Amino acid sequence: MAETKRPTSPAAEEILGLYFPVLDHGFVSLVDYLGTDECIERAARVSYGFGTRKQSLTRGLLRYLRRHKHTTPSEMVELKFHCCMPMFIARQWIRHRTANVNEYSGRYSLMPMLFYTPDAAQLQTQSRRNNQGRSGQPVTGDVHAEAIRRWEAIRRESTEAYSWLTANEVARELARIDLPLSTYTQWYWKIDLHNLLHFLTLRVDAHAQWEIQEYGRVMAGMLKRVAPLSYEAWIDYDVRGTHLSRGELEALRALVSVDGAGTATGESGTGLSASGPRLDRAALEKHGLARREIDELFAKLRPPPALPDFSLDVATARSPEHFADRFAHAVPATDGAPAD
């Protein structure tokens, strides 16, 4: 095999084609990538003599681009993933319409009878404050046991029906129609770095559904190996950084003045003092912020959580054959009974 002349990342080459398990039956694999941090610099500078530049200058440029939202150069880098996830996660995922996708076809191929089952810690009650999220409080043991019993009954019946329909030569595109959303699907997913960072910012956030966060964490670890300087800037400016609305900025400017030397002082009656900055809720309400806006501003100003570590443990990776065998054994047999 001829040695490639394209830019490569040794850390990315190490994991290329390895499959990292996610949830109970899912996975993510970095199938291929095009470009590295250096390619972003080349696109930004569009100049000669690139090879003489120092990495410190590359890092500074990439951070400047990220900080000032100059995103076009990062579109020159692409990553291609092979992913397997429950269908309800795939339906969330596909809303990111900036990728090229080719999904497993239930019209052409038999569907593996593999289903996602949340563990006890993740089977939680509905949040009272967030209509699209869980509360953080697991259900009781009795509810968990009954939920598992009911899910298993539904899945057993769905599997039997699907196996019977396909064994009796009912078209696969019709035999699949009552399979539950917990059934696993898979796809190839190719996306440029700019849009991948947008996807990851949303999907590793604590407000995202926990299951898709698990996929986001693995993909962030893969990005860290392909473009570590871009990854670092993304962590600093997006994951650990924040954005302020016009109302939040106006309220803060009214309550805090900055002199020419860069010294911040609080206005009288704002709750800001020399002993330490403290924002008073009443003062913020006077400047037009609603209660929920104030809550969100306080959340932005609180000390951030621990620095996230999306590093991959290569020891957990599996070969493509590992998952291929698992899925092959989960495909219904031609006699209508599930495969062994």
Computed on alpha carbons and rounded to an integer, the radius of gyration of the chain in Å comes to 25
Supply angle C-alpha 249, 254, 255, rounded to 5. Answer: 100
Cβ-count burial 222-244 (b if 16+ within 10 Å, e if not): bbbbbbbbbbbbbbebbbeeeee
Q: Which is catalytic among the residues 66, 155, 176, 203?
A: 203
Contact, 18 vs 318, CB < 8 A? yes
Say whether 225 is catalytic.
no
Tell which residue, 194, 191, 197, 193, has the closest CA to residue 234. 197
Contacts of 291 (CB under 8 A, 6+ apart): 285
Among residues 36, 225, 17, 185, which one has the least CA distance to residue 101? 185
* Three-class DSSP category at 249: helix
Helices in 176-278 by DSSP H: which ranges?
193-203, 210-226, 228-234, 246-255
Strands 264-266 and 256-258 turn out to be antiparallel
Q: What distance in Å separates the CA atoms of residue 28 and residue 19, rounded to the nearest whole number? A: 6
The CA distance from 329 to 19, in Å, is: 18
- What residues act catalytically? 203
